[in-house]
């Protein structure tokens, strides 16, 4: 059994362009599906957040309409409740990469608020990339890649092919016009090569030890690809 580190947002809101705080956190499916895949394969999951705060689930991610109906919503809620690791996170600042076989970042709009500018997360991402250990990042999780700057000020992921929540999806979801910035745009500006798939369809991109997914539907297939790298 090896340990997989889940780096999760520590905030419960995303500040929009007009200063409004949009309630959010992490997206349930993007934590549950990989967690179930990793633990079923015999791995242990450890959750880390900035400051060690207990992460907040985005209430919208528990709604029946994004989980295939009431039955799916009930299953996600039950699975999330069973993830005891979420209630006892370690401090991201104290993480030692040597303790983990892989690192995974779920999404939700939360990372747009904190992980996008979190120095400890940025250092961890640079170290993970350079270590060659499998690194999985899904949906809005790639916002964290924006903080992964090298000593010369360039982004450590520049030149990498990635999938991430697209501008089209953000607009279709209703927040694109209200956002301070759009994830796909910022990643491209940082030098990453975003490979956008169809909105809401699974899209997983593998580039060296980096495995990224575009949206919630990509979280389960991303976990499969990450596990291949741990085999």
Q: What is the pLDDT of residues 15-61, one digit of tens each?
A: 999 999 999 999 999 999 999 999 999 999 999 999 999 999 999 99
- Residue pLDDT, tens place only, 63-93: 999 999 999 999 999 999 999 999 999 999 9
Strands (E), the chain: 3-7, 13-15, 21-23, 44-49, 90-91, 102-105, 135-138, 161-162, 193-194, 204-207, 210-213
Is the pLDDT reported for residue 142 higher than 90? yes
Q: Are 13 and 23 in contact (CB under 8 A)?
A: yes
pLDDT level of residue 193 (50, 70, 90 thresholds):
very high
CA angle 37, 42, 47 (to 5 degrees): 70
> What does the pLDDT read at residue 133?
98
* CA 83/CA 68 separation, integer angstroms: 21
Is the pLDDT reported for residue 226 higher than 90? yes
- Residue pLDDT, tens place only, 95-109: 999 999 999 999 999
Is the pLDDT reported for residue 119 higher than 90? yes
pLDDT level of residue 11 (50, 70, 90 thresholds):
very high
- For the chain, give the percent of residues with pLDDT over 70: 100
> What does the pLDDT read at residue 54?
98
Token match 């039955």: residue?
A: 71
pLDDT level of residue 231 (50, 70, 90 thresholds):
confident
Q: Which residues contact 220 (CB under 8 A, 6 or more apart)?
A: 33, 34, 37, 202
pLDDT level of residue 126 (50, 70, 90 thresholds):
very high
> What does the pLDDT read at residue 194?
98
Q: Of 96, 8, 123, which is closest to residue 55 (Cα–Cα)? A: 8
> What does the pLDDT read at residue 106?
98
* CA 23/CA 5 separation, integer angstroms: 25
Q: Of 170, 213, 192, which is closest to residue 14 (Cα–Cα)? A: 170
Is the pLDDT reported for residue 1 higher than 80? no
């Amino acid at each position: 059994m090896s340990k997989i580190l889940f780096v999760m947002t520590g905030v419960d809101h995303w500040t929009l362009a007009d200063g409004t705080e949009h309630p959010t956190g992490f997206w349930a499916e993007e934590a549950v599906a990989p967690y179930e895949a990793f633990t079923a394969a015999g791995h242990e999951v450890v959750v880390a957040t900035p400051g060690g705060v207990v992460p907040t689930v985005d209430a919208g991610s528990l709604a029946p309409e994004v989980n295939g109906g009431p039955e799916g919503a009930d299953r996600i809620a039950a699975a999330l409740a069973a993830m005891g690791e979420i209630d006892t996170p370690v401090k991201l600042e104290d993480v030692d990469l040597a303790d983990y076989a892989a690192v995974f970042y779920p999404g939700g709009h939360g990372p747009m608020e904190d992980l996008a500018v979190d120095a400890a997360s940025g250092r961890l991402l640079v170290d993970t990339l350079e270590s060659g250990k499998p690194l999985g990042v899904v949906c809005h999780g790639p916002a964290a890649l924006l903080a992964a700057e090298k000593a010369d000020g360039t982004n450590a992921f520049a030149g990498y092919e990635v999938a991430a929540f697209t501008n089209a999806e953000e607009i279709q979801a209703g927040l694109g016009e209200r956002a301070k910035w759009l994830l796909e745009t910022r990643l491209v500006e940082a030098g990453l090569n975003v490979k956008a798939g169809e909105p809401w369809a699974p899209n997983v991109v593998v580039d060296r030890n980096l495995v990224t997914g575009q949206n919630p539907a990509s979280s389960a297939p991303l976990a499969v690809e990450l596990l291949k790298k741990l085999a």
